[in-house]
Amino acid sequence: MVYPTGREVNSDDPAIAGGQILFATSPTADTIEPAPDQDPFESFRSEFCALINIPISSTVIFPSYQEATRNICSLVSESTVAEDPTLLVSAFGLPKFARHLKESDLNYQFVDIEPDSYGISPRGIVQKIEDIPGVAGIVIGHPFGHPANMPALERISSDYSIPLIQDCSSAFLAESQGMPVGKTGYASIFSLPQALGVEGYSPELDDLTLVIFEDSDETRPLGLSANTANTNQRETVGILLTALRDFPDQLHRRRSMIWELNARLRGIASVARMSHGRRIQHAYSKFSLKIRGPGWKEDLETSIRAFQVENLEFSSANSELSLSQAGMDSSDQFPVALRTARDSIMLDLHNGFSESDVDRISFVTRRIVSWACRS
C-alpha cells in the first residue's frame, strides 16, 4: 500500500512513523435490530417528542426529505404576502436542502457563515434583509452538530417577522442556551437516518424525515403512519426506533469521547480542532478538523487520502457547501464558507464510537501532521 504521493508506506520516510499501518480495518457501527412495537410510527413520534418536550401534534413524518422540503416551501410560499418571495439560505451546512431548492417556486439567496459555529451569519442576514424586498424565510443548518447562533437568529426572526426554517438533521439533541435545537421556529427538519447516526446502514433505509411545525394545522399533510406505510418504511422506522431509544446514551458517550479527543489533539501545529461556543451542547454528528495551516505542505485531496490509507474515512467538507449543491458557482461573496470547505475535513461519528476510536484518530492525526508538515 502506498501513501498518496506514491511513497511506499513501509519505506524509510520518517514522517510515516516507521512505515507501519497500524489500523487495517475501519471503525464499524453497532448492529441494530428493529424494535418489535406493534405501531412503531406512533411509538417513534411519541418518544421523539418526549426527548425534545414538544407536543406530538406538532410533528409529521414524511416518506422522504425531498417531500418534506417541498411541503415546507409550499407552505412558506402560500403564507407570505410578498410578490417575489425569497429564502435566505446558509451557504454552508445545508447540502440536501439546497439540492431541492430549485424545485420550489421560491427565489433564494445564500448568506455566508460564522467562522466558529459554521452557522449562518446573523450580520449577513440583516444586510440581505435590508437589500432584498420580500424575504419570506431564513433557512439555517447546524453543521457537524454545532448549533448555530440561535439567540441572534431568533431575535432577527422576531424583529423582522420572518420565519426560521431549520435543518436539524446533524444536531439531534444539541442545545443552545438550554433549548433543544429544533424546538423553535416555523419548521424544523430531521432526516431521521442522519439524525440518529444510522445513515448508510445496511439494508438501505428509507430517508424518512420528521418535521416539527410551529403550530398545529389541520391543513398540513397527515404524514406516514402504520396504516399508510409500505413494508420497507415499517422496517426502517423499526430500526430508527431502536436507534432513538439508545441515542441519548450514545450521544453522552460520544461527547465524552470527543472531549477526550480534542484534549489529545491540543497543541498540534497546523490543525484547528472543533470549536465550542458558550452555553451550547454539541451533537457531534461529525468530527471536523481544519488543516492546511502554516507549514502544511500537502493539498486537501492528498491529505484526505493519507487518512484513508490508515482506514480513517475522512472526507472533504466541500460536500457541505450549500451553494455548490444548488448548482451555483463558488463566489467571493462567501469567503468564510469557501475557506471552511477548502481547509476542513470531516469524519462521520457512528453509534458505538469508542475509546479505541479516540486512540486511532489521535495517533493517526499526529502521524499525518508530521508527514504533511515535513521540512
| Residue 138, domain member (yes or no) | yes
What φ, ψ does residue 364 adopt, rounded to 5°? -65, -40
Do both 282 and 364 map to the same domain?
yes
Do both 91 and 123 map to the same domain?
yes
Do both 268 and 215 map to the same domain?
no
Count other Cβ atoms within 10 Å, centred on residue 20: 9
| Residue 288, domain member (yes or no) | yes
- The pLDDT tens digits for 177-229 are 889 999 999 999 999 999 998 887 756 788 999 999 987 665 677 788 888 98
- The pLDDT tens digits for 140-181 are 999 999 999 999 999 999 999 999 999 999 999 999 988 999
CATH code (residue 141): 3.40.640.10
Domain end call among 245, 275, 300: 245
Do both 291 and 360 map to the same domain?
yes
Give the distance, in angstroms, between the CA of residue 214 and the centroid of all CA atoms in the same chain.
Answer: 22
What is the pLDDT, as a whole number, of residue 215?
A: 73
Do both 250 and 315 map to the same domain?
yes
Distance of alpha carbon 221 from alpha carbon 211, whole angstroms: 11
Domain end call among 198, 214, 245: 245
* CA angle at 128 for the pair 126 and 131, rounded to the nearest 5°: 110
| C-alpha count within 13 angstroms, C-beta hemisphere, residue 178 | 0
Cα-trace Rg, the chain: 21
CATH code (residue 288): 3.90.1150.10
What is the pLDDT, as a whole number, of residue 351?
A: 67
What is the pLDDT, as a whole number, of residue 29?
A: 58
Domain end call among 245, 260, 290: 245
List CB contacts of 157: < 8 A, sequence separation 6 or more: 138, 163, 164, 185
Low-confidence residues of the chain, pLDDT below 50?
1-22, 24, 375
| Residue 25, domain member (yes or no) | no
What is the pLDDT, as a whole number, of residue 175?
A: 94
| Residue 196, domain member (yes or no) | yes
What is the pLDDT, as a whole number, of residue 110?
A: 95
Distance of alpha carbon 61 from alpha carbon 131, whole angstroms: 36
What is the pLDDT, as a whole number, of residue 273?
A: 77
| Residue 118, domain member (yes or no) | yes
pTM of the full predicted structure?
A: 0.89
What is the pLDDT, as a whole number, of residue 135?
A: 94
Domain membership of residue 327 as a residue range: 246-372
C-alpha cell at 94: 445545508
- Domains in the chain: how many in total? 2
Burial class (CB in 10 A: 0-12, 13-18, 19+), 186: buried
